[in-house]
């Protein structure tokens, strides 16, 4: 079967076509085509994603990307004999259209949904609304090109989902049976990376920038404390030891703001001193990684987790990958730790097509009016 998937939840327009062969027990997935159109450059001057602009760009990108992807996959819609061009009917070798309907920015989500509905009607192909976060979970099993199979997975799976809009721990005792056991009470972790980067005058998206500076600082740390009182530069680890699995990153972000303000009181240009931004970035990244790792390890123990999945944009963070994997393996080497490949850690349509396959029985040619963008959709 062939699945065409559409992703427009934030600032990336994505379309993919996956072919799935073999039986239900051991399917082989082949990426026939995958296209992504990033809007980073357009949103960068605003320091974050600007919803109205994202909507405009998705509307512009979707038809262009569709054409490219169909061409790459060598799929051509044909008009059945005897039908009228005015009715716009076409036949196509696609079995399901999967589209993200939430969570995300509603104006952005709607563009993908409207586009998918139109295609579905025109081609007479069933449509399936997909949860973006389920996509991030399944992203660890995919590739953005070539063929792949599902690895053997043992349950329970614990997913640490970390992106610009989400920070949550989701437990799954079986495929598609999710329970969110903890989430952020304020800012998402990616959002904190972006805001801290902005405070330091670094470009959007902030995660990769902070990470790059932090790495520099680990290689060449400041020889002495950057603080006037000589104390160690230390940021808080909010909610690290609370009993639940919730997170908070707003206080950490504010602590960085106060730190920068205090440094600038000592000297207006102190943030520009050699190694200063690097030292702050490093301590910030360590604080984030400490909290995420601590809570994940706690949940692994309590729920006797066998597989860990880390998904979402922040899963591209090398420090998180290194420390989390090391600590999990030190406690229990049998636990499988899965991160997506770099391209699938970002928003993409391959992960939406994977969800499409698992939920293929729910795809329908009717009831389109019920498919609406749900910005705050949960798992
Ligand atoms: O999943 P994603 O592409 O979009 C959302 O659904 O939000 O995540 C984007 C977020 C941004 O906040 C970005 O700064 C962060 O992921 N990010 C990183 C890294 N790469 C991207 N954060 C930390 N370290 C990275 N290497
Ligand atoms: Zn995402």
Q: Could you tell me the residue ranges of all domains in the chain?
A: 2-144+344-370, 157-340
Q: Does the Cβ of 209 fall within 6 Å of ligand 1?
A: no
- CA-to-CA dists, residue 296 to 253, 275, 317, angstroms: 21, 31, 16
Cα 70 from Cα 97, distance rounded (Å):
13
User: What does 98-139 look like in DSSP terms, one character per residue?
Assistant: EEEEESS-HHHHHHHHHHHHHHHHHHT--EEEEEHHHHHHHG
Helix (H) or strand (E) holding 98: strand 96-102
Give the sign of the dihedral formed by CA 108, CA 60, CA 114, CA 38: negative
State residue 94's pLDDT score.
Answer: 97
- Name 128's bridge partners: 98
- Chain centre to alpha carbon of residue 195: 17
Residues written for the chain: 379
Cα 41 from Cα 341, distance rounded (Å):
23
Cα 59 from Cα 13, distance rounded (Å):
9
Task: Provide the whole-model pTM.
Answer: 0.95
Q: Is 354 left (phi over 0), alpha (psi -120 to 50) or beta?
A: alpha
State residue 359's pLDDT score.
Answer: 97
Q: Which residues of the chain have pLDDT under 70?
A: 85-87
State residue 97's pLDDT score.
Answer: 98
Ligand nearest to the CA of 205: 1
187 CA distance to ligand 2 middle (Å)? 15
Does this chain's domain 2-144+344-370 share its CATH topology with 157-340? yes
223 CA distance to ligand 1 middle (Å)? 31
State residue 79's pLDDT score.
Answer: 78
**Which architecture does CATH list for 2-144+344-370?**
2-Layer Sandwich (3.30)
Q: Does the Cβ of 208 fall within 6 Å of ligand 1?
A: yes
- CA-to-CA dists, residue 28 to 20, 25, 76, 273, angstroms: 6, 10, 23, 53
**Which architecture does CATH list for 157-340?**
2-Layer Sandwich (3.30)
Cα 109 from Cα 124, distance rounded (Å):
22
Ligand nearest to the CA of 164: 1
- CA-to-CA dists, residue 221 to 209, 214, 255, 272, 321, angstroms: 17, 10, 21, 15, 21
Q: Does the Cβ of 347 fall within 6 Å of ligand 1?
A: yes
In contact, 292 and 322? CB cutoff 8 Å? no
202 CA distance to ligand 1 middle (Å)? 15
State residue 47's pLDDT score.
Answer: 74
- CA-to-CA dists, residue 91 to 76, 124, 126, 171, angstroms: 9, 7, 13, 41
12 CA distance to ligand 1 middle (Å)? 12
State residue 282's pLDDT score.
Answer: 98
């Amino acid at each position: 079967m062939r699945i065409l998937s559409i992703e427009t939840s934030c600032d990336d327009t994505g379309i993919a076509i996956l072919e799935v062969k073999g039986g239900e027990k051991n399917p082989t997935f082949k990426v026939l085509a995958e296209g992504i159109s990033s809007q980073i450059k357009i949103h960068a001057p605003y320091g974050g994603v600007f919803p109205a602009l994202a909507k405009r760009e998705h509307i512009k990108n979707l038809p262009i990307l569709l054409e490219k992807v169909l061409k790459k996959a060598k799929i051509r819609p044909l008009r059945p004999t005897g039908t009228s061009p005015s009715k716009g009917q076409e036949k196509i070798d696609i079995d399901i259209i999967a589209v993200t309907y939430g969570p995300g920015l509603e104006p952005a989500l709607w563009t993908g949904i409207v586009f998918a509905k139109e295609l579905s009607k025109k081609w007479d192909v069933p449509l399936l609304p997909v949860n973006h976060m389920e996509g991030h979970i399944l992203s660890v099993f995919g590739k953005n090109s070539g063929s792949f199979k599902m690895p053997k997975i043992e349950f329970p799976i614990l997913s640490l989902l970390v992106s610009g809009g989400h920070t949550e721990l989701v437990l799954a005792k079986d495929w598609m049976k999710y329970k969110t056991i903890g989430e952020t009470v304020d800012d998402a972790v990616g959002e904190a990376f972006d805001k801290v980067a902005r405070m330091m005058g670094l470009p959007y998206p902030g995660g990769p920038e902070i990470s790059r500076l932090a790495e520099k600082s680990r290689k060449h740390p400041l020889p002495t404390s950057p603080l006037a009182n000589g104390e160690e530069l230390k940021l808080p680890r909010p909610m690290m030891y609370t009993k639940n699995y919730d997170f908070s990153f707003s206080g950490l972000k504010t602590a960085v703001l106060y730190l920068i303000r205090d440094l600038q009181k000592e000297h207006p240009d102190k943030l520009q001193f050699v190694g200063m931004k690097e030292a702050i970035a490093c301590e910030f990244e360590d604080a984030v990684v400490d909290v995420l790792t601590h809570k994940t390890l706690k949940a692994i123990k309590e729920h006797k987790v066998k597989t860990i999945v880390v998904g979402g944009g922040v899963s591209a963070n090398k420090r998180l990958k290194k420390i989390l994997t090391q600590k999990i393996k030190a406690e229990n080497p049998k636990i499988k730790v899965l991160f997506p490949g770099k391209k699938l850690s970002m928003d993409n349509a391959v992960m939406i097509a994977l969800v499409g396959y698992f939920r293929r029985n729910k795809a329908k040619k009717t009831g389109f009016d019920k498919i609406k963008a749900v910005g705050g959709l949960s798992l």
